[in-house]
Amino acid sequence: MNKISLSIICFSLFAFSAVHHNFTYLNPDNAWLLHVAQQVLAGKTLYVDIIETNPPLIIYINYIPVWLSNITGLFLPTAFNIFILLLNGLAFAYLISKHSKQYYAIIACAIISTILCANNWGEREHILITLFLPHLFAKFTGRDSNMMEGLLAAIAICIKPYFIIFWLVIEAYEVTFKNHKLTSKFNNQNIFIAISILAYSLYLTFIEQNYVNLIVPQMLANYNAYQAGAGDVLSSIATSVILFELAFILCLIFNYSLLTRQIYTTNFLFLAGVITIIIQQKVWANHFYPVNFFGVLLNALIAKELLEKFKQHNVWVKFAGILSVSVIIINLLTAAKVLTKPQNYDELVNLFNKYKTSFVFSFDLAPSFPAIMHSSSEYLGRYGHLWMLPNLYRQSIALADKPYYRKYTDMDVYEQRIYDKILADLRAKPELILVANRRYANKYSSNFEFDFVKYMQASDRFNILFKSYTKVGAIDKHDIYKLK
């Protein structure tokens, strides 16, 4: 396949995806991160005036669509979709210019990055995989990445630092199975990647100190109660992992000569993705995206090798080829279902447009932040979501007959700090409307109910302020309170 045909196929896929997502609501994480970037560029101090638990690189990346929106006057979600389109377009243009002979792998990656990524379009994991692909394709050909490919890989790793395992796994595979000398891994490219990651770590330690001093301690204090546990995580993804891996195992047993460098490398990245989920102790869609990406790519590469001379293979290898195709079809159907039934937040958008300013008490970012980003509402709270609070009460509520909320004086220093910041935001500029989730439940948190308003009533300071509000209705799982 020539480069022009390959370019047309890939660009068409990304253009379709960008247009589709431009007519749907933003992913909740993307909406919040854009809001954070917008607020920081407007003068707020990251991790002080606006609280985000991710390291700052993803915020800096989101500056780009905010700048694009400010310069052109484009609707911010539209500017974001254009940015993701351009980012993927440039990455795949580079792949086509350097690796057009691997057109099958490039097309497979383009399909996974568009149709199969579904609602993960523009997520942190989507961006980091895109940036990591030039380095991966260099490894597919058996060469070390150049400086630019190494820099992109380093940026990808720094978005979520534990994804350093992707880089290390590839190097370990080459040393262990491709007879590369360990000393050969201390080359200019790997040293450059290591220095880039180290420089970012030093930047966090000595320059962006608010993240290290304010956010990391809070996460360490609250995160244990939020973990699902390795056993729960593995049991929830076991079926998917087995389906993705089975064709590879069958080939390994019955005809390992069919397994190429591409297949082995992708398989190890797939397993590395599973490890990242265990590290995070949660199975959210964006966390599973790298596993899904490399799992589908693995089966696509296996299917290519097995179907080319299908009749010559034994029955087990034929079964592996059929299984690989089936796995791809299942993922396509699943993605199609998601894409054809986008989330609808119209009712909340109308509410936010009506009252203009708002404050949200909720465990997660959905549906409030997509609705806020697609409305004219002004949101000035420093917390977009209060994910840490219900999990602080997971064990105590699971053992009680009814929800129990600590009084302010019984809270530890970290919980008091969160409570004080929420209250300070409400006092600084009382919002015209409060949107409060009062029926939170999560399978990793004992399925208990958490009433955010009752939680905030732990102090009379909030009760005095809350007297100024009256309940005016409810939308889905959210109670609506209006300033009198």
Q: How far apart are CA 192 and CA 186, in angstroms?
A: 10
Q: Give kind and range of the element (H or E) at residue 90.
A: helix 76-99
Cα dihedral 209, 210, 214, 220, rounded to 10, equals -60
Q: How far apart are CA 478 and CA 352, in angstroms?
A: 13
**Residues 271 and 383 grouped into a single domain:** no
Q: Give kind and range of the element (H or E) at residue 469.
A: strand 469-475
The three-class DSSP label of residue 180 is: coil
DSSP state string for 186-236 = SSHHHHHHHHHHHHHHHHHHHTSHHIIIIIHHHHHHHGGGG---HHHHHHH
The pLDDT, as a whole number, for residue 168 is: 94
**Residues 261 and 372 grouped into a single domain:** no
Q: Which among 289, 321, 340 is the end of a domain? A: 340
Q: For 185, which DSSP code?
A: G
**Residues 413 and 277 grouped into a single domain:** no
**Residues 41 and 159 grouped into a single domain:** yes
Residues in the chain, pLDDT under 50 = 399, 443-446
Q: Which residues of 40-62 are buried (b: 16+ CB within 10 A; e: fewer)?
A: beeeeebbeebbbebbbbbbebb
What is the total count of domains within the chain? 2
**Residues 186 and 285 grouped into a single domain:** yes
**Residues 293 and 409 grouped into a single domain:** no
* CB-CB contact of 248 with 298 (8 Å): yes
**Residues 69 and 85 grouped into a single domain:** yes
**Residues 429 and 289 grouped into a single domain:** no
**Residues 359 and 333 grouped into a single domain:** no
The pLDDT, as a whole number, for residue 225 is: 54
Q: Which two tokens stand for residue 267?
A: 């398989």
**Residues 125 and 236 grouped into a single domain:** yes
Q: Which among 340, 366, 389 is the end of a domain? A: 340
**Residues 435 and 294 grouped into a single domain:** no
**Residues 292 and 441 grouped into a single domain:** no
The pLDDT, as a whole number, for residue 304 is: 92
Tell me which residue range forms the domain holding 48: 3-340
The three-class DSSP label of residue 435 is: strand
Q: Which among 321, 340, 359 is the end of a domain? A: 340
